[in-house]
Structure 1
Amino acid sequence: MRKHTKLLPARGMGLPLTFSLAVLLAGFYTLLCLWIQPNSLRSALSLFLAEPLLIVLNALPIGLLIVAFALLFANVFFSAALVGTLCGILSIANRIKIEVRNEPLFPRDLGLLKEATSAAGSYDIRFPWSAIAVVVISCALLVALGVFFRGRPLSPERPIWTRFLLRFLGAASTLGVLAGLIFTVYASNSLYNAFPVSNPYYVPSVFNELGFPYCFTHHFTTYTVDKPVGFSRAAAEAWDKGEQASGQGAPVNVIMVMNEAFSDVTDQPMFTYPAEENPLKNLHAIRESAHSVSGHVVVPGFAGGTANTEFDVLTGMQTNALSATTTSAFRAVNRNLDSLYRVFSADGYATSFLHPGDAWFYNRENVYDFFGAEEIEFAEDMQNLQYKGRWVTDDSLASLIEENFESAVSAGKPLFNYTTTIQNHMSYTTDKYGADYAYPPVQTSIPLSDEAKALLSVYIEGARDADAMLGRLTDYFAARSEPVMLVFLGDHLPYLGDNQLAYKELGINLTPEENGSAGFLKSYETPYVIWANDAAAQTLDWTATVAALDLPTDGTISASFLGATVLELTGRGNETPWFQFLNQLRRTAYPVVQKETVVLPDGTVTTLDALDQSGQELLSKWRCWSYYKLKYKDIS
């Protein structure tokens, strides 16, 4: 018989050489990922040399994947070709996403391939062809090497199935180690936040500086949305396809102003301001107006979390119910969502969002696009801004709201506007408005430490300016013939010192971490007032419409119900099944739901565990419906 021989026989490699090559190839692809990033490789490496742990954190996931597949395939080159191609594709996608949307690639984005493909045509994408070429060429070279060099069989004296089982167990063990690291070392926020970066709040910059492989792996455990128990996509789709009735509301202009850290803390009895000097004199006057309704909203966070309140108000979902770990609702948003913007847009409104801060902060530039806002303006887009210290003044922003309104009137459209201010943002140190700024003294009936006085004097100066903004806007819209409804609210209570220092000295007992305690809900309550000018009050039949809201006696509701309440006031409460459900939930069951604490319509405070079956089912429906919107609902 004629014998067949291989012209180019593959050569076997032992485990030591295989692992050594895995380390070298992991290093190569780590460098490639860093090179693909939209920043200088040299600047990234300079930080890595100063923080050598970053080298390990970036290379380790790549190395473990190469080892796992090398064991499975019995070929380190085939493994590296697969892993390297995957890393290259993800790095290129990260670069494109940063350049197009000013946001890096997160693991959760991998479930949105269909949405990403359909949206790609909306952007002018500049593909990094040199990076693509390097990824393709390196992959081809590794495949070629894998043809000629392969790993030596493990225990060649054993049967084939035994050898395959050993390879499989080795690969599974390696992947298990990687999974364990993802949920321990890579999940550590303290480690992630310990590395020095130029701007910890600008996520694309953090990715560029700490390395895409490390940051991407870290975010496997962040910004998650938990699947509620009992979730049924079919059931949620059925709820969402209920009767739609767009165009039924009155064409009233709606202006919503969420003022940074706005609170009525100075209404506490220990403050002794005379009426003419009261920091909130405009709020008090408007509360007494026959054309207003007021109370408090229970917001998601204490002393922070502005964007979470925006999310709750505009979508009707609850930040605190999304996940056991979610701290930023806006970072959990990566698809088009139902919101107040879409309801008003469907009724022919001009819609806008104004915020005199950075577009990238909280990823607002993308989220408001997902909400459906037509016009989105940040500080970089605004003209003639006025500053107090380094903060854009509330008065300056009031001018922009008025200009925005007049522009809509000129275009013949009613306006829905949501504005988030920034002036009274912390920190409340005496140099906030300049080293020589003279703050009016705090007037209280009890003695305070110098530190508490300083915090309060700076904060109250900002609250005074916020109240002046409220007064200016009501005066302006009161003089207009167009119907206008103004909604003014706070996003969270102010941060007044470590461990609630100023609150404690004032005798205000806040316990934001003690769910169900006396001071728990008070830790999250900020004031709101809804006011209508004469034209709007007449158009909406104000007295009867407000009475039909069936608000609690003290007007306290969760922030998630405020948007739906606004829709009901303008005659749009039934335009979508979602917001109709929210108004029914607020009216008939639970006006306040905050973490594990629930308030009944009669004011009784209870807990989730104490609710009967029907109550549990209502809240479950809210959670499941929210999950469907965040994960599955398609909105073109």
Structure 2
Amino acid sequence: MEKNESQKFDYLTILIACLLMIVQRVLLSATTIPEYATNPGRFYLYSFMKVATVAGLGLVPLYMGYHYQKIVRKKIFSYLSGFFLLYVVIALTSNVFFYVQSSTLNLRDYWIILFPISQNYFTYAVSCVLLLCSIPTLVNWLLSFSTELLKKIIFGLTIGFVILPTLFSKDLWGFHDGKSIVWIFYLFLVGFAFKQLEFDKKFKFKFLHVCISLGLLFGLILLMTQISLFVRGDASTANRFSVPFSLFSMYYTLSLFAFSESISQKLGVKVTGSLIAVNLIVTQILTNWALTTYRITTFEKKSFPDSGKNWLLDIFQFIGLYLISAIILTVVCLLLQKSAPFKKLNRYLIVDSPAQFYQKIRSVLSWIYKRRAIFNVGIFFYFFTFLQIFLLEKKEGWAQTFQVFLKIFIQRQSILFLTTMIIMGFFLLLLLLTNRFWYVFTLILTVDLLLTVSSVIKVNLREEPVFPSDLKMLNSISELLSMVSPILIGIGIVLVLFLTVSSVVVQRKLQHQYSLRINWKRRVIWIGTLLILFSGVFFINHKKSPSYFLFNLFRVNKTFIDQGSAVKENGPIIQFLNNIDIKVMDTPENYSKNKIEQIMKKYDKEANKINQTRNDWLENQTLILNLSESFSDPARIPNLKVLNEPIPTIKEVMSNNTSGIMLSVGYGGGTANMEWQGLTSLDISSLSASLVTPYTQLVNTQKVSPNITNLFDEKIAIHPFTAALYKRKDVFEKFGFDKFYYIDSPNKLTYTDKIGRSPRISDESAYKETLKVLKSNTETTQFIQLSTMQNHMPYGDYYDQLDYNAEGTAVLDSRKGELSTFMQGLHYTDEAIKEFIEELDTIQKPITFVFYGDHLPSIYSGNDKKKYGLEHHETDYFIYSNAFSREQTKKLNKKVVSPLNFNALAFEQANIKVTPFYALLTQVTNKLPASTIDPVESVSNRYNGKQVFVTDKNKIILEKDLTKEQKVILDDYKYIQYDLVAGEQYAAKWAEQKVEK
């Protein structure tokens, strides 16, 4: 608090200026601007109010010029740090308020806080601050002028800045509604002349001048409106003279300034410079802070009510809210200025002169130089992250490559900085723990290199990033490496060896130079702090958590629907972290034990109803679920013409049996997800968007995992491939399989023949293995989960002859060879199916055979994945009943299905009884369209986020388009699914029960 009364300032002018600025902001952003054509009276009223506020911006520089004598006595630079701190506090308060209100943040808002000039924000405020800093020099220069010269300067500038723009009705000098620094300096000069030339004493009847000037402005609006209507046919030039730099607005501004100063002097209301500064800072934040104005204009703006009275009340209500906010923030800031932390920080930032400011800059640079090794690591990983994203988005051709380069540099800076911050946090943590600079650097670089290479390969093959769940497959490293080029593996080994050896050499030679010199207490504090910060990775997807807040702040793409695009935008590190925090499924409203019991009782009755027309299970009832890797009819692919049919047998089987299209949630991958749906009859599109693979992220968390095997006596899985991927061994054990046949399994595969040079066991061998299992048990019920892997990518030079071809733009010329190999493989599958079905018909027990492709191969890169999203997520299926059971079966008409529908369809075709859980599935299958993840919004669609339904006419619809009956069934199903996967499992035993014989 300044004790000397002479150091205080008159307050009324600043108060009026702040009030006018607030009213002007309300008129511009909080209400719909009326048009003359629809409501002339309200148009005039609005225009009058707006022109009355035009003086608000001009009063402040006039005030500074008029009171220059008091201002020059102040050490201007010493106040700037305090002003800046207040500005930062208020801006942060505004951001926090709107974050809590809408959970939305933008890193750019925080960049504006620190660097408003760089974004051309707060033009007026910045101009006033620059003027304030210039006042000592400017006043010394102006005081050297004679009175006559000062008059001539003012007169000349007024002609150029006021008279000419008024005559020509143009913003000749780019004053931008009075916010330009040139205009602000001109007004300061006018205020200075007002004081020096004692114009205020010559200005008689000041209030009358205010009235006359306002009357002139109001009259000009009326006149110009009529002229505009006559000349232009509209009121577009009605406010021609309402700009701050017009002669009439300038007259009003000067009149109001002279009047307010005279009243202020008479009242003797004086306040400290701190209060004036706080008032102005608060007003500028409330009226010009980008986030505030955006939120009000976009979400709070009042529509145009019919009543003019209500319209005015809305405006006054907003003005009142602004004023209350301004008063509260002003009081808070005044109290904050007295707090110890504020004073301490202000003392650290305070500078008394430009020379001291430069000295502080030099001290900061010196501090950075002493720690240049750490900063160099940060710079290195910044550019390494740039390279990561560049490799993921790299295009063919110099022009496209350069566009990608610019795109990353211009649009991804927030991601680059966040990734660098994360890497550096981990680097510092390891460095604090080990104090071995080069070992830590090499370790992090090696891990980052492995993640980069893995991400690039996986994105190219499957349009998806490396997931945390993929780490669980490291125990099958040999199988993973078999999919990678040996040359690439060799280069990787050499590079890792080089980095390891070089780090050992450099660390030994430069240990002393790069060691941390920090005491153990600070070391422990920093380690603890970093560990707490890194614990946030487990809460990234928890709304309102600090890590969620941070990722939102840096505009991380949180859309899980299209992970392939997201990793290109976020980079592999952030996308990897983005997938750590997994939520299984949203909790349905009113979920409870009582609700689940009600649903179970409902479908107990439904099962009884269905079973009245169904047959009992035979003692040796058998079901085969056959997932055929990448099987799909290329003839259904848009922009592709198949020249000769590779699958005639399967086409014939489909025409004579239950068959159609299966909706896959993957493109080029995601086999385990279709398998999970087929075995559990649960819907992956109902799960959380961030749940990648149920096998690796869900099954191990369930106490009980109800699935189709629960209904059968003997349960066999045949998977002629590695079983380490997707934790199949653990999953199948939990699912209750008695035996699991896979490569190198304890239960040895008998048939392992391959075709030509193919690395995969043929489908013919897989079917022979299945027939052996089928014939080994004719006594009890039997379920077989069969995965035929012959057509697994990649599609190399495997076969001696390629008899099948296609033409069209769906496949690039460079990949036509892969297409021919794939189609040849389909033909071999077709031949194997023919033999298998013939053998099934000879077996004397009831067998229902469900055949389906899990996803399309990722070779149709010539098609637009968005335009043909649905077609690229449709495979083929059929359900076949062998000769022994055919008399009691029936062909079903289900053209489009999801994998979750297969078991209910199989039981219905076999015409056998169901349990209550499968009675629910029967209702879902027969009454609801097939559900899936929206195939149009993503390329790989390996993630959830938006559930859609596809009708038998192959049309995508949303849940809101379902009938009332369908919505009830869907709700019942979702309650049961939630209970089984994420709830208390009240329905677990109910879902596991067998059919009563």
With structure 2 as the length reference, what TM-score do the two structures score?
0.39
Pair 1:497–1:588, CA change in 2 (3 A) = closer
Give the structure 1 partner of residue 980 of structure 2: 629
- Tell me whether 1:618 sits opposite 2:974 in the alignment: no
* Contact 2:889 2:910 survives alignment (8 Å): no
Give the structure 2 partner of residue 4 of structure 1: none
Give the structure 2 partner of residue 115 of structure 1: none
Q: What is the alpha-carbon distance in structure 2 between the residues aligned to residue 177 and residue 279 of structure 1? A: 49
* Contact 1:252 1:570 survives alignment (8 Å): no
**Cα offset, 1:231, TM superposition:** 5.4
624, 630, 633: which one pairs with 1:255?
624
Equivalent runs, 1:22-421 vs 2, <5 Å: 49-52=442-445, 180-181=546-547, 184=551, 220-222=580-582, 224-230=583-589, 232-234=591-593, 235-240=595-600, 243=604, 248-250=616-618, 251-266=620-635, 270-273=641-644, 278-289=645-656, 292-331=657-696, 332-334=698-700, 335=702, 336-344=704-712, 349-381=713-745, 382-388=749-755, 389-409=758-778, 412-421=779-788
Q: What is the alpha-carbon distance in structure 2 between the residues aligned to residue 521 and residue 225 of structure 1? A: 25
Pair 1:218–1:478, CA change in 2 (3 A) = same
* Contact 2:775 2:843 survives alignment (8 Å): no
- Measured against aligned partners, the alpha-carbon deviations of 1:484-539 in whole angstroms (never above 9, x if no partner) come to 222211111221143xx2xx4xxxxx64x46xxxx44322221111112221113x
* Paired residue type of 1:360: A
447, 455, 465: which one pairs with 2:828?
465
- Tell me whether 1:560 sits opposite 2:903 in the alignment: no
Give the structure 2 partner of residue 20 of structure 1: none
917, 924, 937: which one pairs with 1:578?
917
- Measured against aligned partners, the alpha-carbon deviations of 1:170-220 in whole angstroms (never above 9, x if no partner) come to 99999779954587499996799969xxxxxxxxxxxxxxxxxx9998763
817, 820, 823: which one pairs with 1:454?
817
878, 882, 898: which one pairs with 1:533?
882
* Contact 2:842 2:883 survives alignment (8 Å): no
- Measured against aligned partners, the alpha-carbon deviations of 1:435-494 in whole angstroms (never above 9, x if no partner) come to xx3322515599986424212201101111111221111011122233222221111122
With structure 1 as the length reference, what TM-score do the two structures score?
0.60
Q: What is the alpha-carbon distance in structure 1 between the residues aligned to residue 954 and residue 918 of structure 2? A: 23
**Cα offset, 1:355, TM superposition:** 0.6
* Contact 1:287 1:294 survives alignment (8 Å): yes
SS in 2 for 1:385: coil
Q: What is the alpha-carbon distance in structure 2 between the residues aligned to residue 470 and residue 570 of structure 1? A: 20
Give the structure 2 partner of residue 507 of structure 1: none
* Contact 1:391 1:422 survives alignment (8 Å): yes
Pair 1:584–1:442, CA change in 2 (3 A) = same
Bigger relative contact order (CA 8 A; separation at least 6):
1
* Contact 2:643 2:804 survives alignment (8 Å): no
483, 487, 490: which one pairs with 2:850?
487
SS in 1 for 2:777: helix
926, 939, 958: which one pairs with 1:607?
958
**Cα offset, 1:150, TM superposition:** 10
Pair 1:536–1:178, CA change in 2 (3 A) = closer
**Cα offset, 1:369, TM superposition:** 2.2
- Measured against aligned partners, the alpha-carbon deviations of 1:103-137 in whole angstroms (never above 9, x if no partner) come to 9xxxxxxxxxxxxxxxxxxxxxxxxxxxxxxxxxx
Pair 1:47–1:270, CA change in 2 (3 A) = farther
SS in 2 for 1:363: helix
Q: Which has the higher helix share?
A: 2
* Contact 1:424 1:463 survives alignment (8 Å): yes
Pair 1:28–1:383, CA change in 2 (3 A) = farther
**Cα offset, 1:417, TM superposition:** 0.6
Pair 1:590–1:450, CA change in 2 (3 A) = closer
**Cα offset, 1:423, TM superposition:** 1.2
* Contact 2:588 2:978 survives alignment (8 Å): no
* Contact 1:573 1:583 survives alignment (8 Å): no
* Paired residue type of 2:631: F
Q: What is the alpha-carbon distance in structure 1 between the residues aligned to residue 625 and residue 575 of structure 2? A: 36
Q: What is the alpha-carbon distance in structure 1 between the residues aligned to residue 725 and residue 850 of structure 2? A: 24
Pair 1:360–1:400, CA change in 2 (3 A) = same
* Contact 2:685 2:931 survives alignment (8 Å): no
What is the CA RMSD across the aligned residues, in angstroms? 4.6
Pair 1:281–1:238, CA change in 2 (3 A) = same
* Contact 2:905 2:922 survives alignment (8 Å): yes
* Paired residue type of 1:255: I
- Measured against aligned partners, the alpha-carbon deviations of 1:540-561 in whole angstroms (never above 9, x if no partner) come to x123xx3xx5x34xx2222221
Q: What is the alpha-carbon distance in structure 1 between the residues aligned to residue 440 and residue 834 of structure 2? A: 50
Q: What is the alpha-carbon distance in structure 2 between the residues aligned to residue 173 and residue 428 of structure 1? A: 45
* Contact 1:261 1:494 survives alignment (8 Å): yes
Q: What is the alpha-carbon distance in structure 1 between the residues aligned to residue 753 and residue 598 of structure 2? A: 49
* Contact 1:255 1:484 survives alignment (8 Å): yes
* Paired residue type of 1:380: D
SS in 2 for 1:424: coil
Give the structure 2 partner of residue 521 of structure 1: 870
Pair 1:542–1:46, CA change in 2 (3 A) = farther
**Cα offset, 1:574, TM superposition:** 2.8
SS in 2 for 1:255: strand
Pair 1:448–1:323, CA change in 2 (3 A) = closer
Q: What is the alpha-carbon distance in structure 1 between the residues aligned to residue 705 and residue 827 of structure 2? A: 35
Q: What is the alpha-carbon distance in structure 1 between the residues aligned to residue 669 and residue 576 of structure 2? A: 26
Identical columns (%): 19
- Measured against aligned partners, the alpha-carbon deviations of 1:265-289 in whole angstroms (never above 9, x if no partner) come to 236783232xxxx311211232344
Q: What is the alpha-carbon distance in structure 2 between the residues aligned to residue 173 and residue 605 of structure 1? A: 43
Pair 1:272–1:445, CA change in 2 (3 A) = farther
Q: What is the alpha-carbon distance in structure 2 between the residues aligned to residue 400 and residue 461 of structure 1? A: 22
Q: What is the alpha-carbon distance in structure 2 between the residues aligned to residue 384 and residue 400 of structure 1? A: 6
* Contact 1:521 1:594 survives alignment (8 Å): no
Give the structure 1 partner of residue 97 of structure 2: none
**Cα offset, 1:308, TM superposition:** 0.9
* Contact 2:684 2:932 survives alignment (8 Å): no
Q: What is the alpha-carbon distance in structure 2 between the residues aligned to residue 442 and residue 301 of structure 1? A: 25
Q: What is the alpha-carbon distance in structure 1 between the residues aligned to residue 661 and residue 807 of structure 2? A: 23
Q: What is the alpha-carbon distance in structure 2 between the residues aligned to residue 358 and residue 617 of structure 1? A: 42
**Cα offset, 1:361, TM superposition:** 0.6
**Cα offset, 1:373, TM superposition:** 2.0
* Contact 1:297 1:562 survives alignment (8 Å): no
SS in 1 for 2:715: strand
* Paired residue type of 2:687: L
Pair 1:170–1:320, CA change in 2 (3 A) = closer
Pair 1:474–1:193, CA change in 2 (3 A) = farther
Q: What is the alpha-carbon distance in structure 2 between the residues aligned to residue 583 and residue 29 of structure 1? A: 60
* Paired residue type of 1:415: Q
**Number of equivalent positions:** 445
Q: What is the alpha-carbon distance in structure 1 between the residues aligned to residue 534 and residue 812 of structure 2? A: 58
* Paired residue type of 2:699: V
* Contact 2:663 2:875 survives alignment (8 Å): yes
- Measured against aligned partners, the alpha-carbon deviations of 1:601-634 in whole angstroms (never above 9, x if no partner) come to 6776422233355544433332232121112325
Q: What is the alpha-carbon distance in structure 2 between the residues aligned to residue 316 and residue 445 of structure 1? A: 37
